Amino acid sequence: MTQIKKAIIPIAGLGTRFLPLSKVLPKELWPLVDKPVIQYIVEEAKNSGIEEIIFVIRSDKKEVESYFKKYINKIPEIEEILKIRKKNHLLKELKNLEKITKKISFSYILQKEPWGASHAVFQTKKLIKNEPCAVLYADDVVESKVPCLLRLIKVFQKYQKPVIALYRIPKESFKFYGMVEVEKINRRLYKIKRVVEKPQIKEAPSSLAVVGKHIITQEVFNNLERTSFNLEKDLTLSESLSEMAEAGEDIYGYEFEGKWLECGNKLAYLKSNLYLSLKHPQFGKELRKLFKVLP
């Protein structure tokens, strides 16, 4: 059975929705409660059996690389200071980060031109080496008992074809997302017929939206190789998969269990932070008290 051991995480975007702060701090490192958004994505990958993560970055965006380097080796005195000050809870957090990165190797590929997410994925072709792999966008965190990516991998292992994560959304949100036309296979599994980008309510083929988690194959890279990339259009990976589906190739969609926590714009990021903060074992109780007294 083909195993999925590699994941691509494109983080070369310009972060325009988070300006001006994203000029100096990549949005992937913004905290979602008490750890950066990108850490949730890496944890999901690890918990799904991924052994190698390939980040696609810009030349001026190397902070994520620094974050996942062994922190204690970089600034050795921090560990000693924390021990002397008996900050055991902070030591524990550093050790937890080490555990996450211990069994995963990290690679970094430069995207020299800002030609969008599909172009970023295509830059990894030589490192992927014809293997099926995962693609995870750093904007999309999923809260679930079983990692969303692991569910997609299970679907891939059965069908050996590309898989897209799907989530059902209210009709007033259709115009912000790629919405899929599908053929239902069972309760949560679908065959993708096409993806309609940001349709009006009447034009939406279903209420299922594309979430930034995919399993892709060599056929997807072959399709990207035929694509003309440019600065004018940020071609999404779901659009490329839609082309393949409309050409008769099998593409599957899985409506995952759990809650989709978006971090791709300021309002979504604030909502996700609030949702997880209120549930947090350390902060939730005090925050719930605060909201009771607010007008």
Higher pLDDT, 156 or 230: 156
Q: In a 3-state reduction of DSSP, which class is residue 32?
A: strand
* Residue pLDDT, tens place only, 45-69: 999 999 999 999 988 778 888 888 7
What integer pLDDT is reported at residue 90 of this predicted model? 83
> What is the domain extent for residue 18?
6-281
In this structure, of 44-48, 97-101, 185-189, the range with the lowest mean pLDDT score is 97-101
Residue 1 lies in a domain: no
Residue 122 scores a pLDDT above 60? yes
Residue 221 lies in a domain: yes
What integer pLDDT is reported at residue 75 of this predicted model? 54
Instruction: Report d(CA 22, CA 30) in Å as an integer.
Output: 9
Q: In a 3-state reduction of DSSP, which class is residue 85?
A: coil
* Residue pLDDT, tens place only, 252-281: 999 999 999 999 899 999 999 999 999 998
Query: What value does the mean pLDDT of the chain take?
Result: 89
Residue 295 lies in a domain: no
Number of domains in the chain: 1
pTM listed for this prediction: 0.91
Mean pLDDT across 235-257: 93
Mean pLDDT across 145-170: 96
Residue 289 lies in a domain: no
Residue 291 lies in a domain: no
Tokens encoding 12: 């070369």
What integer pLDDT is reported at residue 22 of this predicted model? 83
Mean pLDDT across 158-167: 96
Residue 111 lies in a domain: yes
Instruction: Report d(CA 179, CA 238) in Å as an integer.
Output: 10
The residue to which tokens 């679930």 are assigned: 144
Instruction: Report d(CA 149, CA 140) in Å as an integer.
Output: 11
What integer pLDDT is reported at residue 100 of this predicted model? 81
Residue 73 scores a pLDDT above 60? no
Question: Which of these, 204, 197, 192, 194, lies nearest to 176 by C-alpha position?
Answer: 197
Q: In a 3-state reduction of DSSP, which class is residue 20?
A: coil
Residue 106 backbone dihedrals phi, psi, to 5 degrees: -120, 135
- pLDDT-based confidence at 86, cuts 50/70/90? confident
Residue 181 scores a pLDDT above 70? yes
Q: What is the CATH number of the domain that holds 31?
A: 3.90.550.10
What integer pLDDT is reported at residue 191 of this predicted model? 97
